[in-house]
Amino acid sequence: MMKKEICKILSRTEIAADIYELIVQAELVREITAPGQFVHIRVSNHWDPLLRRPISISSYNPISKQMTLIYRKDGKGTQMLSEMRAGMELDILGPLGNGFPVDEVSAGETAVLVGGGIGVPPLYELSKQLTAKGVKVIHVLGFQTVAAVFYEQQFEKYGKTFIATVDGTYGTKGFVTDVLKNIQFDCLYACGPVPMLRALQQGYPDQKVFLSLEERMGCGIGACFACVCKEKDDPSGTSYKKVCTDGPVFRAGEVLI
């Protein structure tokens, strides 16, 4: 069950250039059912900026009722979010959407987790949960440049971690797809920019691939139809999925991207 809750900020840390980690205490953490779900955050008590901001849950602990969110300071809303401090309150709606299916790989099999930029955070909890059930996990994380790299050590704890940077200032120069060429896997999970997701969908047509999509949102709960995408192979042309409630994670090929 999703909740709208005034949550307490426990800490806020800049972990890379303009990348912030926010740890929040909230009852709604107990409602999280899978890695890859997200929350919808009201960044101010006022009505400007108006809309909530969708942010993935990066990791969570239902016992301590804490969750970690990682976001990039970019526009007006995330700017304001970056000014928040420990002790302040935050109006959060969540957990929302359907996360990554952890059941799709078994102990002993190999999963590769592919993240691009601010698509990296939700993979962290996924990696934790897969590792816990005995899946071998490999991470392939892409960033623009060395200053934007975050959580490398954290991911390393759970499995081999390859970093690619577009400008070559760290790790492999180029895209995650360049690194992926040499990796075998049973299941691929990805979150990141659309061109990356599209390349993965096309690159592995016969393998198990799960993609977390991004779309501009209004309500975040399925009411406004802002975030729809078309189903693949739909003769009527009117069938659709909502990223906020049917996604954000889809099996590759399920929807047009």
Partner 1 sequence: MSRLNIELPGLKLKNPVMPASGCFGFGKEYSQFYDLSELGAIMIKAATAEPRFGNPTPRVAETSSGMLNAIGLQNPGMKKIIEQELPWLSQYDVPIIANVAGSTEEDYVKVAKEISIAPNVHALELNISCPNVKTGGIAFGTIPEVAKELTRKVKQVSEVPVYVKLSPNVTNIVEMAKAVEAGGADGITMINTLVGMRLDLRTGKPILANRTGGLSGPAVKPVAIRMIYEVSQAVSLPIIGMGGIQSAEDVIEFFYAGASAVAVGTANFVDPFICPTIINDLPELLEQLGYEHISECTGRSWKKHESPAYHRA
Ligand X SMILES: Cc1cc2nc3c(=O)[nH]c(=O)nc-3n(C[C@H](O)[C@H](O)[C@H](O)COP(=O)(O)OP(=O)(O)OC[C@H]3O[C@@H](n4cnc5c(N)ncnc54)[C@H](O)[C@@H]3O)c2cc1C
Return residues touching ligand FMN (CB under 6 A): 218, 224
Task: Tell me the three state secondary structure of residue 169.
Answer: coil
Cα–Cα distances (Å) from 241 to 90, 92, 244, in that order, read 29, 24, 9
Whole-angstrom distance, CA of residue 237 vs CA of residue 231: 8
- State the burial class of residue 134 (Cβ atoms within 10 Å of its Cβ: 0-12, 13-18, 19+): exposed
Report if residue 97 touches ligand FES, rule: CB under 6 A: no
Quick one: which of 118, 163, 187, 252 contacts ligand X (CB under 6 A)?
118
In angstroms, give the least distance from the CB of 47 to partner 1: 5
Give the nearer residue to ligand FMN in terms of CB position, either 15 or 223: 223
Report if residue 1 touches partner 1, rule: CB under 8 A: yes
Give the nearer residue to ligand FES in terms of CB position, either 112 or 219: 219
Quick one: which of 9, 20, 37, 47 contacts a copy of itself (CB under 8 A)?
47
Query: Which parts of 190-249 interact with ligand X (CB under 6 A)?
Result: 214-217, 248
Quick one: which of 1, 16, 32, 48 contacts a copy of itself (CB under 8 A)?
48
Angle, alpha carbons 73-179-138 (nearest 5°)? 80
Quick one: which of 51, 208, 218, 256 contacts ligand FES (CB under 6 A)?
218
Report if residue 223 touches ligand FES, rule: CB under 6 A: yes
Report if residue 255 touches ligand FES, rule: CB under 6 A: no
- Say which DSSP state 206 is in: T
Q: Phi/psi of residue 230, each to 5°?
A: -80, 145
Whole-angstrom distance, CA of residue 188 vs CA of residue 238: 29
Q: Phi/psi of residue 203, each to 5°?
A: -75, -25
Helix H, strand E, coil C: the string for 74-114 is CCHHHHHHHCCCCCCEEEEEEEECECCCHHHCCCCCEEEEE
Query: How many Cβ atoms sit within 10 Å of the Cβ of residue 206?
Result: 5
Binding partner of residue 47 among a copy of itself, ligand FMN, ligand X, none, CB under 5 to 8 Å per kind? Answer: a copy of itself
From 75-83, 146-154, 161-169, 181-189, give the range in contact with ligand X by CB under 6 A.
Answer: 75-83
Residues near partner 1 (CB under 8 A) are 1-2, 4, 42, 47-52, 76-77, 93, 215-230, 236-238, 240, 245
Residues near a copy of itself (CB under 8 A) are 46-48
Residues near ligand X (CB under 6 A) are 38, 51, 53-56, 70-72, 74-78, 118, 121, 214-217, 248
